Amino acid sequence: MRGETDRLVDTGLIEGAVVDLVVRAANAATVVDAQRLVAELRGFSGVRTAGIVPALSPVVGDLDLLERLPVGPAQWGQELRVEFSAAPARAELLPAASEIAAAADRALAQPCHPVPPPPMLGSPLAWAITTGARAMILLVDPARGWSALSDSFTTVLGYDRHRPPDYRILDLIHPDDRPAAVAMFLTCCTGRHPEQTVDLRVCTVHGRWRTIEVAARSFVEDAQVGAVVFFGLDVTQQRETERAARVEQQRLARLVETMGDGLLLLDADGRVSLANRAAHRLLDTGMLDVSPEHDPDDPAPLDWSAVIARSIARLGPDAVRVDRLREGFRSRRAVVGEELAFEDGRVLELDLVPVTCPGEADGGTLIHLRDVTARVAVRRGLEERSRGLEARNQALAEATAMNNEFVATVAHELRGPLSSVVAFSHLLGDATSGALSEDQRTYLDVIDRNANRLLRLIEDLLLLSRLEARTLQLKPVPTRLPELLAAAVAERIPAALAAGIELTLDCADGPDLVCDDTRVHQVVDNLVSNAVKFTPSGGRVTVRAGPADDGWTIAVADSGVGIPAADLPRLFSSFFRGSNVTAAVGRQVMPGTGLGLVVSRAIVELHGGSISVASTEGVGTTVTLSLPTRTARNGG
């Protein structure tokens, strides 16, 4: 069955019209003429569609019946597309279509040079408004050329609009933007107004590119105008700002999307407008491959209300926390660090932060989610361990207090009777009490010696308990250290001479030492006594002292038996005595209490100083004290 076009072809009814169309196309002078011919071509019954369009626009229709004829230079990207209804119609009408495309091509190839602007356009008021307009206004007459009607053409681009450069209008436009400019011009030549504005980069007189937002209005059908009018606004700075904002927005979007913490942005109505991948993961939405931006055209958007309701249902006993969050959202109050424990063991920490946008009373709310399950588990473990440690420390403190109280009580109770034993032994030894035999004298010496030893032990225990309980009060006074050391050494010279040991003092002069002189004397006496006690006959003990930095350094050195390396870590332990003292000294040595160094270190540290021991077995020992000029702290 043959169509209407075939009947027309057969009858030759359109042959004359086609010939006439071809002839008029060959004589067409402007693009307006060519567009009118395209409109006539669309009127033929054998043509479904016809129009000059950008070559990159989508192709629709029957490709076998579609003809695409280039219009203008290839870089402008324009073509005449004609879709025929049947093959015979295509054969009959193609010559006319080709001639119209050639006419449009010739018209576009004609140079559009500048022409002087008209001296007056409309009324004086209209002309004043036109010339002083902020927008650049260009009049393009397809038959004559182009003219700049507003002074802003000179202000923005630098050209004198009354004597513009002899350029085609397209020569001022960036090559990449020329297809869009030509398409806008072609639309206007049909008598229609382009629906949208176009950004065109236009070259200034200094060779720089300015971005001009261009709108066009067609007056080609107006007999008094017969031209196309372009309106352009300089938006260079605005577009640069927008580009920078887009770059920053893209950077921010990438940052938000790659964050390990979940982010939700709610609008003023509580709808989720942004959610990153971490938020989908933490809330278990099942949509990890969504775009970070909300797509309003998505036919099946995520039901966030159901997601949030499902999450709340998993919280169990945390209803109070949820009510607090809801109240914070309603009152636009920040909520920070709210922990939500889920039934599956996960713990999410949530921040609710109101967002204020410029010019808006309510910019929405930002929700920040963090998975703190591991941190909470560690914290709970530490809390339980801390409670256990506190209980053990309390028990240890109580046991220590009881031990100190017991030692102090026992020592106090023993000191009275021992003092009586010592006193009465002295009375028995007094010549006025009567003569004693040699054996009685020996027995009395043993009683006196051991009673005094036990008394010293008790005194050390009492002092140590006060030091450990921090109830010992120092009484610091300015002290001449050389005099204190001389007195301490003098007290031990008789014992040193009796043992055949050389005891010397080497002390430099220096500032006064603010200290409890009684306690420092006790420390020095302990050290010198130990040195003499554990040095064999023929040895020597030297006490050296001098100012150092902001204090004094005192060293007690001996050439005694030394201390085994295995014993050094235990020197400052209560009741500890070296394993080699009795065998190495070579004479009977009165056993010590094992508290001298312990008490000495406690007194030195109470003064804010330090004590150290250096010893080599069989060579000797040096004990060094460092005391600040002023006492750093007090007991009690």
CB 315, CB 324: distance < 8 Å: no
- Where the chain has pLDDT below 70, the residues are 1-14, 120-122, 288-301, 316-319, 357-362, 399-416, 418-434, 448-471, 574-594, 631-636
Which of 78, 82, 85, 116 is CA-nearest to residue 99? 82
Contact assessment for residue 78 and residue 52, using Cβ atoms and an 8 Å cutoff: yes
pLDDT of residue 586: 56
Strand extents, DSSP E, 289-382: 335-341, 347-354, 365-371
The pLDDT value given to residue 3? 44
- Give the span between the Cα atoms of 325 and 334, in whole angstroms: 9
Q: Which of 178, 80, 182 is nearest to 140 (CA)?
A: 182
**CB-count exposure of residue 369 (10 Å: 0-12, 13-18, 19+):** buried
Give yes or no for a contact between 363 and 355, defined as CB atoms under 8 angstroms apart: yes
The dihedrals phi and psi of 432, each to the nearest 5 degrees, come to: -70, -15
Exposure b/e, 458-483, CB count within 10 A at least 16 = b: bbbbbbbbbbbeeebebebeebebbe
Residue 318: Cβ within 10 Å count: 18
What is the rounded CA–CA span in Å between residue 34 and residue 30? Answer: 7
At residue 72, the 3 state secondary structure works out as coil
Question: What is the SS3 string spanning 137-180?
Answer: EEEEECCCEEEECCCHHHHHHCCCCCCCCCCCHHHHECHHHHHH
> Which residues have a Cβ under 8 Å from the Cβ of 117 and sit 6 or more positions away?
139, 147, 148, 149, 161, 162
Q: Give the pLDDT score at 101.
A: 92
The residue written with tokens 């256990």 in the block is: 388
Q: What's the pLDDT tens digit per position in 456-481?
A: 666 666 666 666 666 677 888 999 99
pLDDT of residue 636: 40
Predicted confidence at residue 1, as pLDDT, reads 34
Q: What angle do CA 268, 273, 279 make, to 5 degrees?
A: 120
* Cβ neighbours, 10 Å, residue 523: 27
Sorted by sequence, the CB contacts under 8 Å of residue 468 that are 6+ apart come out as: 400, 404, 602
Q: Which amino acid is at 108?
A: L
Q: Which residue has the tokens 């060519």?
A: 34
CA dist 573 and 418 (Å) reads 26
- For 13-36, the pLDDT digits (tens) are 557 888 888 899 899 989 999 999
CA count, 13 A, side-chain hemisphere, 237: 1
Give DSSP secondary structure letters for 309-333.
HHHHHTT-S-HHHHHHHHHHHHHT-
DSSP type of residue 566 = G
Task: Say which residues have a Cβ less than 8 Å from residue 17's Cβ, sequence separation at least 6.
Answer: 44
Q: How many helices (H) and strands (E) does the chain have?
A: 17, 20
> Is 105 in contact with 34 (CB distance < 8 Å)?
no
Pick from 634, 600, 602: which is nearest to 521 by CA? 600
User: Would you tell me the crossing angle of helices 596-606 and 517-533 to the nearest 10 degrees?
Assistant: 150
